[in-house]
Amino acid sequence: MSSQVIPTTESSSLYTNLEEMSTTDLLKNINQEDQKVAKAVQKIIPNIKKLVDAASKKMQSGGRLFYIGAGTSGRLGILDASEIPPTYGASPNLVVGLIAGGDSAIRTAVEGAEDDPNQAWKDLKQFGINEKDTLIGIAASGKTPYVFGGLQVAQENGVLTGSISCNKDALISSVADFPIEVEVGPEFVTGSTRMKAGTAQKLVLNMISTSLMIKLGKVKGNKMVNMQLSNNKLVDRGVRMVMEEIPELDYQAALKLLTLYGSVKKAVEAYQSK
């Protein structure tokens, strides 16, 4: 990518004098820009499919999924990873999110953390990453050294690599087996990639992890049959799922069965195997 070309994530906003806009105009214009994001993601579904299919094969053979990123990108990866265990009952080690600067960077920016191209691999090695696993690097700009360096060494070590960026011909695409580039255009506030770029990354991460969990058998029909029963709302939802699968059970009987086996899937399987 030529240094003379301004990446679209850094190019000037299509709007000006933002401070003079009314609240209504601010909200309408931000929303107008947000509507472009889903369309941009739609265009690159074939690339997302390739990554999902490749990662699925790895995970079905016992591999894990790792995300690396800095700033907003890193936080989005951690968010996606952290929601897998409660939603799908998976081990917290199945999908792991890492951020430049460590866990403290989740809440507070760590100066210079993203500029070290060697740190990501050091972080990944603590988890014993290997050729069975998949690594996805997330960087709106597509050139974050922490992400580029991690992907580069991972690729050299036989790890399946993917990337999510928001610029065409992103640098990290060159070290990703399956690059994903979502071109969302200039941000409403120039360069504020927590906005459209962040939304695009979140949409793609949702698509990737949800598809993978479905392929791993974590969903039945359209229901989260392996979800963790961590609060009353989820227990109630689980009971009703059991009742849908086993109509002859009333609420209390379904609750007793669910409590005994700990998940909708196990409860239903146990009952139907009798």
Tell me the pLDDT tens digit for each residue of 133-148. 999 999 999 999 999 9
Does residue 2 surpass a pLDDT of 80?
A: no
Determine what percent of the chain is predicted with pLDDT higher than 70: 98
Q: Is the model more confident about 203 or about 110?
A: 203
Q: Tell me if residue 19 is catalytic.
A: no
Nearest to 181 by CA among 77, 15, 46: 46
* Per-residue pLDDT at 4: 57
* Per-residue pLDDT at 1: 40
Q: Does the predicted model carry a pTM greater than 0.75?
A: yes
- Computed over every residue of the chain, the mean pLDDT equals 95
What is the mean predicted confidence (pLDDT) over 78-91? Answer: 96
Strand locations in the chain (E): 65-69, 95-99, 134-138, 160-165, 178-181
Binned at pLDDT 50, 70 and 90, residue 3 comes out as very low
């580039």: which residue's tokens? Answer: 181
Does residue 259 surpass a pLDDT of 90?
A: yes
Q: Which of 10, 20, 111, 114 is catalytic?
A: 114
What is the mean predicted confidence (pLDDT) over 234-260? Answer: 95
Determine what percent of the chain is predicted with pLDDT higher than 90: 94
* Per-residue pLDDT at 19: 98
Q: Tell me if residue 131 is catalytic.
A: no
Binned at pLDDT 50, 70 and 90, residue 66 comes out as very high
Does residue 9 surpass a pLDDT of 60?
A: yes
Q: Which of 10, 19, 83, 187 is catalytic?
A: 83
What is the mean predicted confidence (pLDDT) over 235-250? Answer: 95
pLDDT digits (tens, 9 = 90+) for 181-191: 999 999 999 99
Long-range pairs of 11-15 with CB within 8 A, sequence gap ≥ 24: 11/185, 11/186, 11/190, 12/186, 12/190, 13/186, 13/187, 13/188, 13/189, 13/190, 14/185, 14/186, 15/188
Binned at pLDDT 50, 70 and 90, residue 167 comes out as very high
pLDDT digits (tens, 9 = 90+) for 23-64: 999 999 999 999 999 999 999 999 999 999 999 999 999 999
Give the DSSP letter of residue 103.
G
3-state class (DSSP) for residue 86: helix
């709302």: which residue's tokens? Answer: 233
